[in-house]
Every structure is written in C-alpha cells, then in structure tokens.
Amino acid sequence: MTTAHTIDLGVRRLLVAAGEAPSVLNTQPWHFQVRGDDVIELLADWDRWLRVSDPRGRSLHVSCGAALFNLRIAARVAGRMPVARLLPEPEKAPDLLATVRFDAWGQSSAELRELYELIPCRRTNRQPFGDRLIPAPVLAGMRAAASLERARLLFLDRRSAADMLDYAAIAQDELARDNEYLAELAAWTAGQGVPAHVQGPFATGDVDPIRDFGRRAGSARFEPRPQLAVLTTAGDEPMDWLRAGQALQRVLLVAAKHAVSASFLNQPLDLRDMRRRSDPHHRRGHPQMIMRLGYGPVVPRAPRRPVTDLLVQQA
C-alpha cells in the first residue's frame, strides 16, 4: 500500500509543489495517486467541491489545472520530463482529471527553475496596490505565458476595467441575497479556506476592487484605477477549464517573477455558473478568470493541506 510515509522523497516534493497552487476559496480540491515510479494521477476531491457557487465544476477544474501546472514544473526541475494527458477516461473514471507520465530524464531551463522557486512565494493579494502601471514587456510576458497553455490573457483598457468593476459589484450584490451561497461562503471562510487574515481590508472611497468574503478587517483606500485582465479559453468544457488553470498558474508565476501581485474578481463568472447561463461565442474566447494586477505589499499565505491529505491510498 502506498502512503504519504512510504513515497519517495522526490515524489513528495512534487506533491508539495502541486499543493501550493491557487484554488477557488482555497478549497484545494485535488487528490493524487502515485502509480509506480513513472505515473501520478490527478483526481478531483469532490468533498471540496462548491456545489452552490460552482455547479458545473468549472472552478474546481481550473483549480486542479493550476495544481497540475505546478506538478509539471516541479517534475522538470527534478530532471523528469512529464507528459500530461487530460481527462483520459471521462466515462469510466470521471474523477480522474489527468495522468502525468514521466517518460524520460532531462534538464530544465533556468527559466523553469525560476518559476519553480516562485511557487511557494506566490500569494493572492487582497491589499491595495500602488498606482504604478505594469510595464508593457511584463504584460507581454504574461500574455505569452497564457498562450503557451492554449489560453488568452486580455488586458482591459480603462473604460472596460471600470465596466468590469461595475459588473463585479452588481454580481456581488446579487450573490449576497442568496442564502445558500452565503452559507457555503461562510463554511469556507471560518478557519479554513480563506481565513480572515488573508481577506484584505474594507475599502474606503468609491473603488472596491476585491471580493468580499465577509470577514475583512481594517479599512484602506484602494488604487483608483485597478488594472484588470481576463483569462479566456477557446471552449468552455472541462478540458478547457483544466487548460485555463494551467495557464492561470503560469501567468501568476511569471507575474511573481516581476513582483506583480494578483487577486480575483470572479463574482460575474460565479453568478453565470449558478444561473446556468452560457456566454455567446466570441472570437476572444470564454472568460474563465478575472484578475486584478498591480504592485502590492508582501502578504501572508492561506493555509495548505499536508501531503498526507493529498494522497489517495493505492492497494
């Protein structure tokens, strides 16, 4: 039987890196199964699925995609060449989101090693950001990072960003009238998930560019013109959501390389999913994440599950 106490130290390091990924409400909805020396399976942990706000499982898949990207990068740095197969048996094994086979030994690049070292440093930052604009070369690097994972990162101009903030505020108000949503939110902000110390302050002034989880502390004035971006995919199915998660994490690590912070404004997407609405086809793709970007202070991280909780035992 494979347990967290008998796995190879190298595999443990891979799983620790995977577990550092961002996830919706910090649910960390993933499990892993180690099969021999050359395969790790990524499985959905449906006990951590947000049934109310994520009825399609879209956010769960995006979260697991981010963990998959960390696993891939950690493997490359360890000298293994990972080959990931998404949704290998959707009918027979719906919990199995990806298999990662390590087919060969090889060397990683300095760029990948730098991204790997940033995995534990990346934080979701719900504090006010400075007014400094992100330079064009940094934006280009983030856009290229999304493209490498078959997604698109669209940076909103000032008018579009203002409209998006309005949409987020309207969605926030509508969600606040849904008792089932509020109960689910409370369950993931009381000690686990998104604890109070990472929720950020109340906003003073006219701009409130962070999501309200109900346990904010203190108050502060946020940047008057937040810099926003939207991550999109060509389709809107589980395969696309897993790709979006991988793209998201690559973008966030490239951002962290340049000291760019990020937080999320996904209320419109949650409301869309809860109402079972679908987006019309658009040449720019289907929105999967709405991000606020900028230069913020150092912040603490949300708690992470130990490796012992991540492993599925294999007979």
Task: Find the mean pLDDT for residues 36-58.
Answer: 96
Q: Taking the mean position of all CA atoms in its chain, how far away is CA 22? A: 4
- Name the residue with higher pLDDT: 186 or 103: 186
pLDDT at 215: 87
Report which of 88, 121, 101, 71 is spatially closest to residue 310, judged by C-alpha positions: 71
Max CA distance (Å), the chain: 58
Q: Please indicate, yes or no, whether residues 116 and 156 belong to a single structural domain of this protein.
A: no
Q: Please indicate, yes or no, whether residues 110 and 158 belong to a single structural domain of this protein.
A: no
Q: Please indicate, yes or no, whether residues 227 and 108 belong to a single structural domain of this protein.
A: no
CB-based contacts of 138: which residues, under 8 Å, 6+ apart?
255, 258, 260
Q: Please indicate, yes or no, whether residues 194 and 166 belong to a single structural domain of this protein.
A: yes
According to DSSP, the residues that pair with 84 across neighbouring strands are: 100
Q: Is residue 2 part of a domain?
A: no
The answer to whether residue 313 scores a pLDDT higher than 80 is: no
The answer to whether residue 44 scores a pLDDT higher than 60 is: yes
Angle at 295 between CA 291 and CA 296, to 5 degrees: 90
Q: Is residue 308 part of a domain?
A: no
Distance, CA of 287 to CA of 232 (rounded, Å) = 4
Q: Is residue 257 part of a domain?
A: yes
Question: pLDDT confidence of 3, banded at 50, 70, 90?
Answer: very low
Task: Find the mean pLDDT for residues 211-236.
Answer: 94
Tell me if the pTM is above 0.75: yes
Provide the strand spans (E) within 106-189. 152-155
Q: Is residue 52 part of a domain?
A: yes
pLDDT at 7: 61
The answer to whether residue 229 scores a pLDDT higher than 50 is: yes
Q: Please indicate, yes or no, whether residues 69 and 13 belong to a single structural domain of this protein.
A: yes
The answer to whether residue 2 scores a pLDDT higher than 70 is: no
pLDDT at 280: 61
Q: Please indicate, yes or no, whether residues 84 and 167 belong to a single structural domain of this protein.
A: no
Q: Report the number of distinct structural domains present in the chain.
A: 2
pLDDT per residue as tens digits for the range 160-183: 999 999 999 999 999 999 999 999
- 3-state class of 125 per DSSP? coil
pLDDT at 311: 93
Domain that holds residue 220: 136-294
